[in-house]
Each structure stands twice: as structure tokens, then as C-alpha cells.
A = this chain, B = another copy of it.
Amino acid sequence: MTAGRHRSFDKDNALEKAMLVFWKNGYPGTSLTDLTNVMGINKSSLYAAFGNKEQLFNQAIDFYLNKHGAIHLDELFKTELSLKTRIKNYLLSIANMLINPDLPKGCLICLSTVEIAGACLPDNSAKNIGDINQQTILTLTDFFEKEQKAGNLIARHSPSTVANYLLTLQFGLAVSARNGGNIGELKEVINFSIVLFN
């Protein structure tokens, strides 16, 4: 054990609380007072543990990706199901998160993406968000290329186009959820949006 007084709060728990505030209010809409209130610590502890607001935000994004961002992709790789069903389950998994009453509405990445264009986000964070979206496109494109080779996606549909379509849908569903859309409406849209598969 290192010398010195021990941290009196759980860092991971505090980070999750911070992530939830950013998710609800966005970066410019979240103040340090909001953060310290919900994290249950004071500024000194926050700066000692996380650096500053920007660095805390970046760590919150990481936390979000790990806890709420990556899981949905699992649905795409359950290869015992048809491609269409997997895509449907993927979008449904996302939709359930978007309107989960225990979480802020919508998606933190989508919210942050919207905030990029203004001077709202620090440069470093903006670049991070851009990279994350780029990575999502790459992952989905790679996925659809393999599905096409496996004969599950018609040849005339470009994998990158389908990937972009899916990300666009995710963004749209996230905004709809933010707009008060309920799970029924989202499911309707999802069912309609995948008619063109298979």
C-alpha cells in the first residue's frame, strides 16, 4: 500500500455518476458544481482524482463506451440467427438503452457528436468523439463485408453504405428518444427500417 491518506470515495462509482450527468446535460450544460454534487465529493478531490473537467469528460466517455456502448454489437455476432434478425436485435438493444427509465434519455456519443460543431467541446474531446464514430463505421463496414462474403447481404448493397445507414438510424433513434419517444414508437421505426434487409 502506498503511503498517504486513502481516498474516501470509490473512484469508479464517482466516475459513473459524472458520466450520467454529462449524459443528461451535455458538456457545456454540466458545471463543476453539478459534478461535485452528484459525485458526492468536492473540487479538490475531483481534480486530484480526474485532472480537470475535460479529462473527467474523456474518462466518462470511456466509461460509457465500456458499460453502455459495446454490448449491443454482441447481437450482430449471434450467427445462429438470420442477418435481418441480428440487425433487428442490435437496434432493439440500443433502443432499450435509449429509453431506459433508469438512465438519461438518448445516447451520450450522439449528444456529444451534436456538440462538436460549436466551440462547445474541448478540441481533445471533440477529436475523441469523432474517432469513436469513425471506429463504429469501420466496425460495421467490416461486419457487413464479411456478411456479404457469407452470402447474407445482397451484392448490390455496399457494406459501407449499410454501415452508414445503421449509424444514421442509431443517431435518429437517439434523438427521438431524447424527444420523448416511447419504446413502442422506436420499435415501430426499427421494424420498418429493416424491411429492406434479406
The answer to whether the Cβ of A171 comes within 8 Å of any Cβ in the partner chain is yes
Task: Say whether, besides A118-B25, A120-B29, A189 and B168 are in contact (CB < 8 Å).
Answer: yes
Closest B residue, CB atoms, query A167: B176
Interface digits, A124-152 against B, CB 8 Å rule (1 contact, 0 not)? Answer: 00000010010000000000000000000
Q: Is the CB of A117 within 8 A of B192?
A: no
| Residues of the B chain whose Cβ atoms lie less than 8 Å from the Cβ of A170 | 172
- In this complex, how many residues of chain A approach chain B with their Cβ under 8 Å: the count is 49
Q: How far is the CA of A157 from the CA of B118 in the complex (A)?
A: 39
Secondary structure dominating the interface of A? helix
Expressed in whole angstroms, the Cα–Cα distance for A185 and B192 within the complex equals 22
Q: Which of A154-176 contact B (CB under 8 A)?
A: 157-158, 160-162, 164-165, 167-176
Question: Which residue of B is nearest A191, CB measured?
Answer: B161
Using a CB–CB distance below 8 Å, which chain A residues touch chain B?
24-26, 28-30, 104-106, 110-111, 113-120, 130, 133, 157-158, 160-162, 164-165, 167-176, 178-181, 185, 188-189, 192-193, 195-196
